[in-house]
Amino acid sequence: MKRKTVQRDAIQEVFLRKNRPLRVEEILEFGRSAVESLNQATVYRNLKLLVESGWLRAIHHPEAGTLYERAEKEHHHHFHCRSCDRVFELPGCALNERKSTPPGFIAEGHEVFLFGLCSSCRKVAAKA
Ligand SMILES: [Zn+2]
Ligand SMILES: [Zn+2]
């Protein structure tokens, strides 16, 4: 159906434009500027399809909850701003998995979340 494609295109467009991990509410908010008929159920359905097709991957942040990001990106870490609640990508990986793992353990992967204030929130905090 054509309508479904339009909605999925709008969601993919949001990810390409924002270029950072997004929460369902953010996808809904940004996607609605392109396709007004977008609702939460549609977003969830399309996110599921995009994860299944390997275009998106879900990341689980202890405070920010489930976020989605493009799966094609190389391994990287994330920064959660506690003020605006946005999650940013930190390119690259400075963690040595082998050195950080106790003897006898096998690490299968890792997620690193830094937290604090992003540059725009820091400026606001400095002015206050
Ligand atoms: Zn911020
Ligand atoms: Zn890493």
Q: Do the beta carbons of residue 23 and residue 33 sit within 8 Å?
A: no
Q: Could you tell me the two tokens for 78?
A: 């994330």
Q: Which ligand is nearest to the CA of 95?
A: 2
The confidence band for 5, taking pLDDT boundaries of 50, 70 and 90, is confident
pTM metric for this prediction:
0.85
What is the average per-residue pLDDT within 44-51? 96
Gap from CA of 121 to ligand 2 centroid (Å):
25
Ligand 2 ion: residues within 5 Å (CB):
93, 95
Q: Which ligand is nearest to the CA of 112?
A: 2
Give the DSSP letter string of 51-91.
HHTTSEEEEEETTTEEEEEETTSPS-EEEEETTT--EEEE-
The pLDDT of residue 96 is above 70: yes
